[in-house]
């Protein structure tokens, strides 16, 4: 009984990283202990020896414990888990294998160890920058345990991983829950401080500087209480960055000096060195800044630190007039970011990854400053829709061919307005079949403030042609290019960042008298230029023209029946011969019915129902159908698993375009999902759709479409008919929600 108590005590000391005390307790393990207890003692002592960096002795003890553990899956699992812990500093790949073996052996017999093995493997994947894979293991660990200690570890690491994948909206929920759990445990103070550090980082990324400062100051107070060197340096560095951002150079210098006094691990010190270099640059000590940054790169830092250092160094060279060196360093920074992107396997995180940092902004601005607008356009294009382009078989690392794009525009009689929003200056490329012009626009936040206010004005059904906000946005975004845009032009808008949430048709041109821009041009949208480069001469074979689904039975009180949905179905169906359409409505309109309909056979899809959009996970956006065996939602994540190639998908639902906007991918939701699997064009809504107005608009749309007009022209005609009508439907709220998105 005494030895069992000693072993348990030693385990507790190991958990608190008090390995020297643990080793003193177990330094002389008797040979006559019961088999299982002796194995347990050897494994526990080996764990402590690993923490003391005495790995050879630890390996020998684990070899001795293996035959003693034979026949006992829990003990065998402990052996493999401890091997993973021991070897991880030297060989993370082998460690991952041991953790997997431990989780498999512990399954069903030791939930705590199973969870811990998954969490440890997730942590090692995080160290290798494989954050999307880490998320999978951390979620497995979270699901396998009811231990509050392990739960807060898993949740905190999940929050950090989501941050590193650019998912700033998803991360806080994990970190807040982790911090809450840790606050109730005496032995989780260090963890709590770490989650506060990460939570402060999330606040900082959202420009919530006061909240970030509070979180980091609180974490620093706890780190000082614990005398935890690593935590203290994290806090000093982050507070220094916050001070730099808010213009407090003296505060930044003070925090940097305090951080330099600490003997933190070398890899961690690099973060502080980069902050010191930024401070030196702001203090015009350029030689020191360059010296420090070159030292960071020589130390082979983690991916994000390497990218930030390369970009800072490139900017420094640019400011010194060393253009060739700046160019080389900017390219290295982009290569670093794109290589990291290529390692992300999950669709969910490929979408968000480019939101981690504004990877391309400073390089684009540099190229503009060098009077290289075409090269700036090429780099901006590399930052657009990398996940979508890759899914469509396009190489996002292949540079845009401007001549090829212009030939395609000539064949289709189109032109492009490609936008790029950035902190200090935004840009607009006007691309016609015969020319390309770069125009400089206002800084991003100056534009965004008007977009947010105008979007609310539209939703409030106020502000028609005399809207000052609509005129101001026209002045900022379209007026600079007016002389290049003939009346009646077919304009493809390539938005950027918050511009995805703006319908350009509703902007108001002030002359000759105020009128909506839709009266001058035919607008459609694309999220990247490479989608427009090639003309689609080959026509796929379709067995039927139309798959029409909707007017489902009420599946939930959150989604009541739409009074005019049957009317819309009837009106749309009337435009197609009976033998060329499949109508699935009422109780038959289930998610399973969509799958069974063989959607690859159809030229057009049309959905008439409710839709949902998810901000936290856009691939959880869904088309609401009737209840079936697997529920009543056709999720975006299920749509992207299908193999389809429709010419047009019309999602006549609320928020079909999605509500979550990403810097790289644009709006991600149902429309993105259909484009992702091969739809050439998608009609989807930016906001709620009035079902009565939608029925009439779709009737007009399909009447024009079946007469041979393009989808963009047909949709515009339907909108103009509503705009020129009498009564409330002439307001943009009713006609402007639906937009046409071009995929390829």
- Same domain flag for 438 and 583: no
- Same domain flag for 630 and 610: yes
Cα dihedral sign, 346-348-354-357: negative
- Same domain flag for 417 and 454: yes
Domain assignment of residue 455, yes or no: yes
- Same domain flag for 456 and 549: no
- The pLDDT value given to residue 464: 67
- The pLDDT value given to residue 462: 66
- The pLDDT value given to residue 448: 93
Query: What's the rounded Cα separation, in Å, for the pair 473 and 448?
Result: 10
- The pLDDT value given to residue 55: 85
Domain boundary among 498, 513, 533: 533
Domain assignment of residue 303, yes or no: no
- The pLDDT value given to residue 344: 85
Long-range CB contacts (within 8 A, 24+) of 462-469: 464/730, 464/731, 464/732, 465/508, 465/514, 465/515, 465/516, 466/508, 466/514, 467/508
- The pLDDT value given to residue 615: 79
Strands (E), 498-647: 508-509, 515-516, 522-526, 544-550, 581-585, 602-608, 611-612, 622-628, 631-635
Query: What's the rounded Cα separation, in Å, for the pair 384 and 396?
Result: 8
- φ/ψ of 429, rounded to 5, equals -95, 125
The CATH code of the domain that includes 452 is: 3.30.420
Whether the Cβ atoms of residue 646 and residue 602 lie closer than 8 Å to each other = yes
Q: Residue 405 is encoded by which pair of tokens?
A: 């794009």
Domain boundary among 502, 533, 564: 533
- Same domain flag for 631 and 735: yes
- Same domain flag for 559 and 656: yes
- Same domain flag for 437 and 526: yes
Domain assignment of residue 109, yes or no: no
- Same domain flag for 520 and 584: no
* Burial (0-12, 13-18, 19+ Cβ within 10 Å), 390: middle
Q: Which of the 8 DSSP states describes residue 435?
A: -
User: What DSSP string describes 517-546?
Assistant: GGGT-EEEEES-THHHHS---SPPP-SEEE
Domain assignment of residue 579, yes or no: yes
Domain assignment of residue 366, yes or no: no
- The pLDDT value given to residue 690: 81
Domain assignment of residue 599, yes or no: yes
- The pLDDT value given to residue 275: 95
- The pLDDT value given to residue 490: 97
Whether the Cβ atoms of residue 604 and residue 547 lie closer than 8 Å to each other = yes
- Same domain flag for 617 and 474: no
Domain assignment of residue 100, yes or no: no
- The pLDDT value given to residue 210: 95
Assign 18 to helix, strand or coil: coil
Task: Give the residue numbers spanning the domain of 671.
Answer: 544-742
Query: What's the rounded Cα separation, in Å, for the pair 441 and 420?
Result: 9
What is the number of structural domains in the chain?
2
Q: Any idea how long the chain is?
A: 744
Give the bridge partners for 425, in sequence order.
none
The parts of the chain modelled with pLDDT lower than 70 are 1, 462-464, 535-538, 744
Query: What's the rounded Cα separation, in Å, for the pair 19 and 17?
Result: 5
The CATH code of the domain that includes 601 is: 3.40.50.1460
- Same domain flag for 417 and 517: yes
Whether the Cβ atoms of residue 297 and residue 310 lie closer than 8 Å to each other = yes
- Same domain flag for 671 and 578: yes
Query: What's the rounded Cα separation, in Å, for the pair 139 and 113?
Result: 15
Assign 493 to helix, strand or coil: strand
Domain boundary among 513, 533, 553: 533
Query: What's the rounded Cα separation, in Å, for the pair 95 and 97?
Result: 5
- The pLDDT value given to residue 92: 82
pLDDT tens digit sequence for 427-450: 999 999 999 999 999 999 999 999
- The pLDDT value given to residue 398: 85
- Same domain flag for 660 and 732: yes
Query: What's the rounded Cα separation, in Å, for the pair 665 and 433?
Result: 26
Query: What's the rounded Cα separation, in Å, for the pair 80 and 66?
Result: 9
């Amino acid at each position: 009984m005494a030895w069992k108590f000693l072993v348990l005590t030693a385990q507790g000391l190991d958990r608190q990283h008090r390995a020297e005390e643990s080793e003193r307790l177990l330094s002389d393990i008797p040979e006559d202990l019961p088999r299982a207890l002796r194995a347990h003692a050897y494994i526990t002592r080996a764990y402590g020896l690993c923490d003391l960096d005495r790995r050879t002795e630890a390996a020998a003890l684990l070899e001795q414990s293996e035959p003693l553990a034979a026949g006992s899956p829990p003990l065998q699992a402990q052996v493999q888990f401890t091997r993973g812990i021991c070897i991880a500093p030297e060989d993370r790949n082998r460690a991952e294998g041991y953790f997997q073996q431990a989780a498999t052996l512990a399954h069903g017999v030791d939930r705590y160890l199973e969870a811990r093995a998954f969490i440890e493997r997730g942590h090692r994947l995080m160290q290798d920058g494989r954050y999307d894979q880490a998320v999978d293991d951390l979620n497995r660990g979270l699901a396998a345990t009811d231990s509050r200690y392990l739960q807060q570890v898993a949740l905190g690491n999940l929050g950090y991983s989501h941050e590193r994948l650019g998912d700033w909206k998803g991360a806080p929920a994990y970190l807040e829950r982790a911090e809450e759990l840790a606050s109730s445990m005496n032995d989780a103070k260090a963890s709590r401080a770490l989650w506060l550090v990460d939570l402060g980082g999330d606040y900082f990324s959202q420009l919530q500087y006061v909240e970030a400062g509070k979180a980091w100051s609180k974490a620093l107070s706890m780190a000082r209480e614990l005398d935890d060197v690593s935590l203290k340096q994290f806090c000093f560095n982050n507070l220094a960055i916050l001070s730099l951002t808010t213009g407090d150079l003296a505060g930044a210098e003070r925090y940097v000096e305090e951080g330099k006094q600490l003997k933190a691990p070398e890899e961690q010190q690099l973060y502080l060195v980069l902050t010191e270099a930024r401070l030196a640059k702001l203090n015009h000590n350029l030689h020191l800044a360059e010296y420090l940054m070159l030292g960071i790169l020589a130390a082979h830092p983690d991916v994000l630190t390497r990218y930030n250092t390369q970009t800072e160094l490139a900017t420094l060279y640019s400011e010194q007039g060393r253009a060739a060196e700046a160019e080389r360093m900017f390219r290295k920074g982009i290569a670093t970011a794109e290589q990291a992107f290529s390692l992300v396997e999950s669709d969910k995180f490929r979408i968000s990854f480019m939101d981690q940092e504004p990877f391309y902004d400073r390089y684009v601005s540099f190229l503009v400053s060098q009077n290289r607008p075409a090269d700036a356009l090429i780099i901006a294009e590399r930052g657009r829709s990398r996940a979508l382009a890759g899914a469509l078989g396009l190489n996002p690392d292949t540079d845009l061919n401007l001549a090829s794009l212009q030939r395609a525009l000539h064949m289709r009689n189109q032109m492009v307005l490609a936008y790029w929003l950035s902190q200090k200056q935004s840009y607009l490329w006007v691309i016609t079949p015969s020319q390309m012009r770069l125009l400089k626009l206002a800084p991003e936040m100056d534009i965004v403030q008007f977009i947010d206010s105008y979007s609310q004005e539209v939703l409030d059904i106020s502000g028609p042609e005399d809207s000052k906000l609509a005129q101001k946005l026209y002045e900022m975004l379209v007026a600079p290019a007016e002389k290049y845009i003939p009346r009646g032009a077919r304009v493809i808008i390539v938005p950027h960042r918050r511009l995805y949430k703006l319908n350009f048709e509703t902007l108001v041109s002030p002359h000759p008298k105020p009128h909506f821009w839709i009266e001058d041009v035919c607008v459609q949208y694309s999220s990247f230029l490479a989608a427009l480069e090639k003309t689609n001469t080959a026509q796929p074979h379709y067995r039927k023209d139309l798959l029409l689904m909707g007017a489902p039975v009420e599946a939930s009180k959150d989604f009541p029946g739409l009074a005019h949905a049957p009317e819309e179905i009837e009106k749309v169906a009337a435009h197609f011969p009976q033998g060329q359409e499949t109508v699935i409505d009422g109780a038959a309109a289930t998610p399973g019915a969509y799958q069974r309909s063989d959607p690859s056979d159809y030229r057009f899809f049309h959905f008439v129902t409710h839709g949902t959009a998810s901000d936290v996970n856009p691939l959880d956006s869904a088309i609401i159908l009737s209840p079936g065996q697997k529920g009543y939602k056709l999720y975006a994540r299920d749509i992207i698993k299908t193999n389809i190639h429709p010419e047009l998908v019309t999602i006549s639902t609320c928020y079909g375009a999605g509500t979550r906007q990403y810097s790289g991918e644009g709006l991600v939701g149902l429309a993105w999902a259909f484009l992702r699997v091969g739809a050439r064009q998608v009609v989807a809504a930016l906001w709620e759709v009035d079902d009565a107005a939608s029925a009439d608009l779709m009737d007009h749309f399909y009447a024009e479409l079946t007469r041979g007009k393009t989808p963009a022209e047909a949709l515009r005609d339907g909108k103009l008919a509503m705009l020129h009508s009498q009564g409330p439907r002439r307001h943009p709220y009713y006609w402007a929600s639906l937009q046409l998105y071009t995929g390829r």
